[in-house]
């Protein structure tokens, strides 16, 4: 354990590294604080009224070596702080490829989370120990902030844009989860727990859920909103096929390309005319106000699944029903 004094319990290796940097910053600050205080007191006593210390004027000389020394040492200290902090920050910006991806929707005043298999939870996040976990987060209303002190990670959760956060718990236990951005009357109640379990126990917990997998829920929404009437295969389709679309570099009608990631798919649902795929007309209506953020995440999971398992099941847009309908 050996947790830092005055600091929350550490729940990940990263937490230890953040604490080490923090200890360095505190140590440097203390060194200079005490050094400066010492000399203030020392000179105050030495040159107090009536003391016999020499007050004879000394010719001011320019000593280059001293000038350089007291410039270079602070510069080096500052650069160490910068380099060390930047390295940690950059690592925190790059989740590992194989991370377990959980979606998080913040709203006044609770956290809704969904695991890849479908299991949902509120104000609690169950995760397996030793595995990197990546959160894809968005807000339904105002800015919130997902903060787990034990992992030393915090990330704003914004309306209208996905943000991510990742951590790798290295010990079993329970940690506090806070909203760290004032978001209204019940901000202080927007709290919860991160529950770290052994992988086996976590798997059993996951299996107890009966929630629909997000890609299935997404396919239902896709059918409910009749997206499949336009997003079909073939020459006459009025909208691009979504098979194999995810993360693909897609040419745009306005020129240039876009990588069809989560952000682009979300934008295309809410503001379909922003980036129209080359060869198509801007005829898709917006679904703003009709689908919640959770629903959009589920549709994204469905579109993602069309790229992962294209041979396993025929996607519904091949049905060909109602192809004359405007949807």
Binding residues for ligand CUA (CB under 6 A):
106, 109, 144, 179, 181-183, 187, 190
Q: Which residues contact 99 (CB under 8 A, 6 or more apart)?
A: 131, 132, 133, 134, 166
Smallest distance from ligand CUA to CB 110, Å: 8
Which of residues 109 and 202 has its CB atom nearest to ligand CUA in the complex?
109
Query: 105 and 294 in contact (C-beta within 8 Å)?
Result: yes
CB of 183 to ligand CUA, least distance (A): 3
Cβ 179 to ligand CUA shortest distance, Å: 3
Q: Which of 187, 275 has the CB closer to ligand CUA?
A: 187
Q: How far is the CB of 185 from ligand CUA (least distance, A)?
A: 10
CA distance 297 to 115: 11
Angle between the 214-224 and 293-308 helix axes, to the nearest 10 degrees? 110
Considering the complex, state which of residue 190 and residue 306 has its C-beta at the smaller distance from ligand CUA.
190
Are the C-beta atoms of 254 and 275 separated by less than 8 Å?
yes
How far, in Å, CA of 327 to CA of 323, rounded?
9
> Please, where are the H alpha helices in the chain?
13-46, 64-93, 199-207, 214-224, 262-270, 293-308
244 close to 306: Cβ distance less than 8 angstroms: yes
Can you tell me the distance from the alpha carbon of 321 to that of 299, in angstroms, rounded to the nearest whole number?
Answer: 20
In whole angstroms, the minimum distance from the beta carbon of 125 to ligand CUA comes to 15
Tokens of 325: 């309908």
Smallest distance from the beta carbon of 295 to ligand CUA, in angstroms?
21
Tell the smallest beta-carbon distance from residue 192 to ligand CUA (Å). 11
SS3 state of residue 154:
strand
- Looking at the Cβ atoms of 106 and 213, the one nearer to ligand CUA is 106
For residues 163 and 250, which CB has a smaller minimum distance to ligand CUA in the complex? 163
Nearer to ligand CUA, 179 or 217 (CB): 179
Q: Which H helix or E strand runs over 136?
A: strand 133-139
Nearer to ligand CUA, 181 or 215 (CB): 181
């Amino acid at each position: 354990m050996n947790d830092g004094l005055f600091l929350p319990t550490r729940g990940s290796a990263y937490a230890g590294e953040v604490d080490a940097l923090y200890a360095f910053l505190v140590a440097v600050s203390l060194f200079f604080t005490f050094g400066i205080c010492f000399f203030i007191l020392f000179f105050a006593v030495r040159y107090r009224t009536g003391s016999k210390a020499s007050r004879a004027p000394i010719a001011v000389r320019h000593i280059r070596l001293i000038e350089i020394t007291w410039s270079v040492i602070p510069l080096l200290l500052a650069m160490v702080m910068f380099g060390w902090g930047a390295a940690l920050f950059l690592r925190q910006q790059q989740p590992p490829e194989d991370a377990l991806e959980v979606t998080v929707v913040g709203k006044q005043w609770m956290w809704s989370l969904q695991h890849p298999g479908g299991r949902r939870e509120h104000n609690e996040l169950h995760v397996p120990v030793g595995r990197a976990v990546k959160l894809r987060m968005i807000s339904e209303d105002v800015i919130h902030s997902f903060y787990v002190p034990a992992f030393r990670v915090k990330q704003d959760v914004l309306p209208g844009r996905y943000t991510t956060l990742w951590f790798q718990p290295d010990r079993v236990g329970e940690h506090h989860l806070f909203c760290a951005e004032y978001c209204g009357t019940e901000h202080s109640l927007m709290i919860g727990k991160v529950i770290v379990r052994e992988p086996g126990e976590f798997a059993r917990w996951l299996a107890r859920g009966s929630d629909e997998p997000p890609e299935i829920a997404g396919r239902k929404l896709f059918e409910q909103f009749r997206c499949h009437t336009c997003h079909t295969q073939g020459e006459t389709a009025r909208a691009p096929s979504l098979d194999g679309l995810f993360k693909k570099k897609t040419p745009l009608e306005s020129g240039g390309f876009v990588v069809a990631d989560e952000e682009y798919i979300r934008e295309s649902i809410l503001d379909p005319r922003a980036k129209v795929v080359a060869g198509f007309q801007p005829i898709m209506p917006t679904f703003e106000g009709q689908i919640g953020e959770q629903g959009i995440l589920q549709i994204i999971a469905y579109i993602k699944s069309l790229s992962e398992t294209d041979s396993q099941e025929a996607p519904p847009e091949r049905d060909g029903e109602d192809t004359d309908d405007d949807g």
